[in-house]
């Protein structure tokens, strides 16, 4: 067990009430057994390491003698395909793991937990604001258990060598640091970069970084609205692209502004120039000590530590827009959803109650070394671990969007960058094309 997990254990042991337990006993999928027993075969699918779940599932199975609970880890690369095949063949899991890119494509398979059973206010009080992606017009797609936010890694030695006391808190401050943190050799080739921005193919998390910049500038990427279905009392949630939004009637649309900023770091004629397509992968460059800053996920911490144990680095929350009244960072969200095709839905729901119990969710987050999605647990930020403190702080202000297809939206973002950096299209035309493509995916 690493030091990070040790701190996490100590932190969670001090918290006895986990807010998600509000719904325990509130939601009634059907009539519960009088003795509140759980029985039958319940299969849970997921794409995160089984070590974080197996012991917990064994404990639940031991608690109920007539329950056979199994966690099956699937390869994330084939997870969606296997899900579709399983639902088509009648072999679907009873509970399955989802992230923000799996909600829409699996909505016909997800049992939506209604507001009548679990009030929206309880959900909002329990989970961080970014968890709204799990809310539809009729109820909840599932319940989040972990957050993986973008954070700002920095090389301590590079900053000290150049007399930089603290990493930048705003993007404007970052911009100003480039003249001392990016260096070229005698032939003009970049020998040290401040940050990897402006390209797509060799920047890890490029889509997430662009999404972060958009969200910080008021562009949600994907938004939703609830409309009444004609001749039907039910609401229908419609999702739509906001890439072209300019609600403030700015001279330069927010998305255009974000792209100009992003692309400036790959423009050799600009003072912000610090990256190009001939550079190595951004993560590799940071680990090698060749880049001052790295925009990465909290989950990448151990890869950085293990690959180069001698690298002197630290991590803070992502830079914000100067003058902004609301701090926000992009994050991935992980949750569990109930299967509409489950042959044992009542017991599957009872098992889900057990999985999200205080003790079990605590152990899941310790095993994954990721922050929880619970406001209550996140409010107990540890002060004795700089990494964990930043991860908790970032998760509290995390946001995401309902992504219709992770791979296809990545291709849309990549094409958006390539169309503009190569001058094949104007920024406005490239944004319009990307928005149309995203809209088609959402429909």
The predicted structure's pLDDT at residue 257: 95
The tokens describing 28, both together, are: 């009634």
Output the CA angle 330-96-151, nearest 5 degrees: 20
Q: Strand, coil or helix: what is 296?
A: strand
Confidence of residue 10 (pLDDT cuts 50, 70, 90): low
Q: Tell me: pLDDT of 88 over 90.
A: yes
CA gyration radius, the chain: 23
End-to-end CA distance of the chain: 45
The average pLDDT across 16-44 equals 55
pLDDT for residue 22 is more than 60: no
Mean pLDDT for 218-236 is 76
Question: What are the tens digits of pLDDT across the range 105-115?
Answer: 999 999 998 89
Share of the chain above pLDDT 70, in %: 90
Give the tens place of pLDDT for each residue, 46-71.
999 988 888 888 888 888 888 999 99
CA torsion angle 378 381 382 385 (round to 10): 90
> Does residue 100 surpass a pLDDT of 90?
yes
- Could you tell me if residue 185 is inside a domain? no
Token pair of 126 as six digits: 């329990």
pLDDT mean over 344-351: 88
**Which residue range forms the structural domain that includes residue 356?**
3-10+20-127+135-144+335-379
- When pLDDT is cut at 50, 70 and 90, the band that residue 386 belongs to is confident
What are the C-alpha distances in Å from 139 to residues 111, 112, 371, 417?
Answer: 9, 6, 25, 36
Confirm whether 421 is domain-assigned.
no
Burial class for 186, CB neighbours closer than 10 Å (0-12, 13-18, 19+):
exposed
Question: What's the mean pLDDT in 363-368?
Answer: 84
Most confident of 183-197, 205-219, 234-248: 205-219
Query: What's the pLDDT band for 230 if we cut at 50, 70, 90?
Result: low
Residue 32 has pLDDT above 50, yes or no: no
Work out the average pLDDT over 311-323.
96
Higher pLDDT pick, 129 / 11: 129
**What pLDDT does 64 receive?**
87
In a domain, 66, yes or no: yes
| 10 to 170, 368, 382: CA distances (angstroms) | 33, 15, 9
- pLDDT of residue 12 exceeding 80: no
What CATH number did the domain enclosing 108 receive?
3.40.190.10
Assigned domain for 357 exists: yes
The reply to whether 443 falls in a domain is no
- Structure-block tokens of residue 169: 């808190």
Residue 24 — very low, low, confident or very high, per pLDDT cuts 50/70/90? very low
Q: How many domains does the chain have?
A: 1
- The three-state secondary structure class of 114 is strand
Question: Which band of pLDDT confidence, cut at 50, 70 and 90, is reported for residue 186?
Answer: confident
**In-domain check, residue 221:** no
Grade residue 19 by pLDDT with cuts at 50, 70 and 90.
very low
Contact of 371 with 149, CB cutoff 8 Å: yes
3-state helix, strand, coil in the chain (%, to 5): 40, 20, 40
User: Is 96 part of any domain?
Assistant: yes
Q: How confident is the model at residue 162 (pLDDT cuts 50, 70, 90)?
A: very high
Check if the beta carbon of residue 218 is closer than 8 Å to that of residue 326: no
Q: Is the pLDDT of residue 26 over 50?
A: no
Residue range 202-226: mean pLDDT, rounded: 95
Across the range 231-245, mean pLDDT stands at: 80
pLDDT band at 233 (very low <50, low <70, confident <90, very high): low
Residue 187 domain-assigned (yes or no): no
What's the pLDDT score for residue 367? 86
What rounded mean pLDDT belongs to the chain?
88
Nearest CA among 266, 150, 158, 265 for reference residue 216? 150
């Amino acid at each position: 067990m690493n030091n990070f997990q040790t701190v996490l254990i100590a932190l969670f042991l001090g918290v006895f009430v986990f807010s998600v337990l509000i719904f325990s006993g509130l939601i009634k999928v059907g009539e519960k057994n009088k003795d509140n027993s759980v029985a039958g075969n319940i299969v849970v699918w997921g794409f995160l390491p089984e070590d974080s779940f197996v012991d917990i599932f064994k404990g639940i199975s031991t608690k109920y003698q007539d329950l056979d609970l199994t966690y099956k880890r699937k390869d994330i690369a084939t997870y969606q395909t296997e899900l579709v095949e399983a639902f088509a063949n009648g072999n679907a899991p009873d509970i399955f793991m989802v992230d923000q890119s799996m909600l829409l494509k699996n909505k016909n398979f997800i049992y939506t937990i209604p507001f009548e059973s679990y009030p929206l206010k309880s959900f909002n009080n329990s989970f961080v604001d970014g968890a709204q992606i799990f809310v539809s017009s009729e109820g909840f797609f599932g319940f989040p258990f972990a957050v993986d936010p973008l954070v700002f890694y920095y090389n301590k030695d590079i900053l000290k060598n150049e007399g930089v006391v603290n990493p930048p808190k705003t993007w404007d401050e970052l911009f100003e640091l480039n003249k001392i943190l990016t260096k070229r050799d005698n032939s003009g080739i970049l020998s040290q970069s401040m940050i990897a921005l402006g390209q797509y193919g060799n920047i890890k998390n490029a889509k997430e970084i662009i999404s972060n910049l958009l969200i910080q500038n008021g562009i949600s990427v994907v938004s939703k609205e609830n409309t009444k279905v004609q001749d039907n009392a039910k609401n229908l949630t419609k999702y739509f692209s906001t890439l072209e939004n300019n609600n403030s009637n700015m001279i330069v649309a927010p998305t255009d502004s974000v792209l100009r900023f992003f692309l400036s770091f790959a423009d050799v004629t600009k003072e912000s120039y610090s990256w190009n397509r001939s550079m190595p992968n951004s993560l590799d460059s940071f680990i090698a000590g060749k880049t001052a800053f790295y925009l990465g996920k909290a989950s990448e911490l151990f890869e950085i530590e293990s690959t180069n144990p001698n690298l002197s680095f630290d991590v803070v929350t992502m830079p914000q827009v100067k003058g902004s009244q609301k701090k926000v960072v992009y994050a991935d969200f992980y949750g569990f959803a109930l299967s509409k095709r489950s042959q044992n839905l009542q017991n599957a729901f009872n098992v889900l109650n057990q999985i999200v119990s205080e003790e079990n969710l605590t152990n899941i987050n310790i095993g994954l070394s990721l922050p929880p999605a619970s406001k209550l647990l996140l409010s107990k930020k540890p002060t004795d671990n700089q990494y964990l403190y930043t991860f908790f702080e970032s998760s509290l202000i995390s946001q995401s969007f309902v992504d219709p297809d992770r791979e296809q939206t990545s291709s849309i973002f990549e094409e958006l960058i390539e169309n503009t950096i190569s001058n094949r299209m104007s920024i406005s035309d490239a944004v319009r094309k990307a928005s149309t493509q995203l809209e088609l995916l959402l429909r």
